[in-house]
Amino acid sequence: MTEKSGDALPISARGITKTYGPVHALDDVSLEVDSGEFLTLLGPSGSGKTTLLMVLAGFTRPDRGSLKFGGREMIRTPPHRRGVGMTFQSYALFPHMTVAGNVGYPLKLRRVPKSELDARVERALKTVRLGGFGGRRIDQLSGGQKQRVAVARAIVFEPRILLMDEPLSALDKKLRDQMQIELRHLHEKLGMTTVYVTHDQREALTMSDRIAVVNHGRIMQLATPRDLYERPANRFVADFIGDSTFLAVSRSGGRILHDGKELLLGAPVPEAGELLLMIRPERISLSPEGPRADANNFAATTAEVVYQGDSFLLHARLADGGMVALRGATRRGDAERLPSVGDAVTLCLAPEDTVLIDGSGS
Ligand code: ADP
Ligand code: MG
């Protein structure tokens, strides 16, 4: 298990639909996961993430759709024949068994002889940095250790595909941050195709090769963390990932206007009936010297300033009533430098930070 699995499998899901009465848990979902890729399903509670993972694992049969692992159709294959390791949203460990009993369970099901089983269990435990913990009882472990036991159980039979459903959501923030890096390293080491579920956008950005943003049983966008953040396809994605404010803009010939003034743009304008200008708080800045010729300038009035230690957050009201949030780094001497409530300010947005998104259906 210290070797990269050379035979990680790609996943190809096409047109997967699953309804529960009137609820479309999955609505015609298609998803391609590359061999060895770490792909995250990110979405709010109830968006269909667990259902999709259960379809991949074989615990849920979709109403329609096809599912292939490395070219082989899987829809009728039962879970234990799919070669998939899984961690569940609750740890789903057996509380009365030892750590080794839990981790060895999938091997026992596969009738692996005892001598080999013990060696593989210990190897899996070492991989998650729990070597020597085999004899412990589950209730003697911390949350982070339980989570690692669940991961060890999922990887012990060296699956070619690993599915993880919100594995870190029960942990406190410090441990979660640490485990995110650990799971990422584990993936680099083992190399299996991984589908990871979270509702935490920062976790998704930290861990993933690519992210599929899910809402109401549909994939809203599938892209790299950077592309999702910098070029969200629609308002839902822009809202869900990072903070942003939106201003209504209009089209006039080939030009885009905000409050009657032409915007300097850095990218092509999307084809959409309704356009919004998305502003990330850290991309817009204060210009104490007033308007700049090379940027989009917004005259505004300071509505609120919040000191947050490493940064400050400023809310400003534009002439047309629109609100813009701006985040800047704090420095010594800020007390004199930062505007006060009621002060007139100029906000500058560089053309390359001017992101227009499809505002319809938001
Ligand atoms: P998520 O994991 O993103 O929170 P789920 O996949 O668990 O979302 O659920 C998606 C939708 O399907 C929700 O509206 C949920 O209530 C519904 N759902 C999921 N499983 C069942 C089930 N077994 N019976 C009825 N409705 C279900
Ligand atoms: Mg879920």
Output the domain CATH number for residue 278. 2.40.50.140
Averaged pLDDT of the chain: 92
More confident residue, 195 or 148: 195
Q: Which of 232, 251, 275 is at the close of a domain?
A: 232
- 3 in a structural domain: no
Residue 294 has pLDDT above 50, yes or no: yes
Q: How buried is 60 (Cβ within 10 angstroms: 0-12 exposed, 13-18 middle, 19+ buried)?
A: middle
Residue range 97-103: mean pLDDT, rounded? 95
47-69 pLDDT, tens digit per residue, is: 999 999 999 999 999 999 999 99
How many structural domains compose the chain? 2
- Going from the Cα of 50 to the center of ligand 1, the distance in angstroms, rounded, reads 7
40, 50, 89: residue to mutate for ligand 1 pocket, most atoms within 8 A of CB: 50
Question: Does 238 fall in a domain?
Answer: no
49: Cβ below 6 Å to ligand 1?
Answer: yes
The pLDDT of residue 335 is 64
> Number of C-alpha atoms within 13 angstroms, CB side, residue 331?
6
Residue 236 alpha carbon to ligand 1 centre in Å: 20
Task: Tell whether 224 and 315 lie within a shared domain.
Answer: no
What is residue 287's DSSP assignment?
A: -
**6-10, 110-114, 224-228: least confidently modelled range:** 6-10
C-beta of residue 315 within 8 angstroms of C-beta of residue 304: yes
Is the predicted pLDDT of residue 5 greater than 60, yes or no? no
- The reply to whether 144 and 264 lie within a common domain is no
Residue 62 shares a structural domain with residue 112: yes
Domain assignment present for 6: no
- Residues comprising the chain, all counted: 362
Q: Are residues 224 and 265 in the same domain?
A: no
- Report the nearest-CA residue for atom 13 of ligand 1: 46
Q: Does a structural domain hold residue 62? A: yes
Residues 192 and 35 sit within 8 Å (Cβ to Cβ): no
Top-confidence residue, 131 or 337: 131
Give me the pLDDT at residue 108, please.
92
Residue 2 placed within a domain: no
**4 within a domain of the structure (yes/no):** no
Q: Which of 232, 264, 292 is the last residue of a domain?
A: 232
225 and 255 co-located in one domain: no
138 belongs to a structural domain: yes
What letters, b where the CB count within 10 A reaches 16 and e where it falls short, cover 111-147? ebeeeebeebbbbbbebbebeebbeeebeebeebbbb
20 Cβ inside 6 Å of ligand 1:
yes
Domain stop point among 174, 204, 232: 232
pLDDT score for 331: 83
Provide φ and ψ at 242, rounded to 5°.
Answer: 75, 180
Band the pLDDT of 1: cuts 50, 70, 90. Answer: very low
Residue 44 pLDDT level (bands cut at 50, 70, 90) = very high
Q: Whose CA is nearest to atom 11 of ligand 1?
A: 25
pLDDT confidence band for 6 (50 / 70 / 90): low
Contact indicator for 94, 141 with CB cutoff of 8 Å: no
**Quick one: 138 and 273 in the same domain?**
no
In this prediction, residue 305 carries a pLDDT of 95
Global pTM?
Answer: 0.89
Atom index in ligand 1 nearest the CA of residue 44 equals 3
Closest ligand to the CA of 47: 1
Is residue 31 located within the same domain as residue 135?
yes
Which domain range does residue 224 map to? 11-232
pLDDT at site 92: 85
Q: Give the Cα-Cα-Cα angle 337, 338, 341 (nearest 5 degrees).
A: 140
Report whether residue 340 contacts ligand 1, using a CB cutoff of 6 Å.
Answer: no
Cβ neighbours of residue 312 closer than 8 Å, sequence gap 6 or more: 305, 306, 327, 328, 330, 334, 338
Q: What is the predicted pLDDT for the residue at 240?
A: 93
Q: List Cβ neighbours of 147 (8 Å cut-off, separation of 6 or more).
A: 87, 91, 167, 168, 170, 171, 179
Mean pLDDT along residues 313-329: 94
d(CA 203, CA 179): 10
Overall average pLDDT of the 2-24 stretch: 85
- Same-domain check for residues 205 and 252: no
Whose C-alpha lies nearest to ligand 1, atom 6?
A: 48
pLDDT for 2 equals: 39
| Per-residue pLDDT, 336 | 66
- For residue 77, the domain's CATH number is 3.40.50.300
347, 285 contact by CB (below 8 A) = yes
Shared domain check, 332 and 296: yes
Give the rounded percent of residues in the chain with a pLDDT score beyond 90: 75
Answer yes or no: do 197 and 266 share one domain. Answer: no
Residues 71 and 219 occupy one common structural domain: yes
Nearest to 197 by CA among 207, 187, 182, 185: 207
Residue 297 lies in a domain: yes
Q: Residue 85 above 80 pLDDT?
A: yes
Is the predicted pLDDT of residue 3 greater than 50, yes or no? no
Ligand 1 pocket mutation, candidates 23, 55, 169, criterion most atoms within 8 A of CB? 23
Are 44 and 200 within 8 A, CB to CB?
A: no
47 C-beta closer than 6 A to ligand 1:
yes
- Both 89 and 221 in one domain: the answer is yes
HSE-CB at 239 with a 13 A cutoff on CA atoms is: 13
Over residues 77-84, the mean pLDDT reads 93
pLDDT per residue over 243-276, tens digit each?
Answer: 999 999 999 888 999 999 999 998 888 887 889 9
What is the band of 216 on the pLDDT scale with cuts at 50, 70, 90? Answer: very high
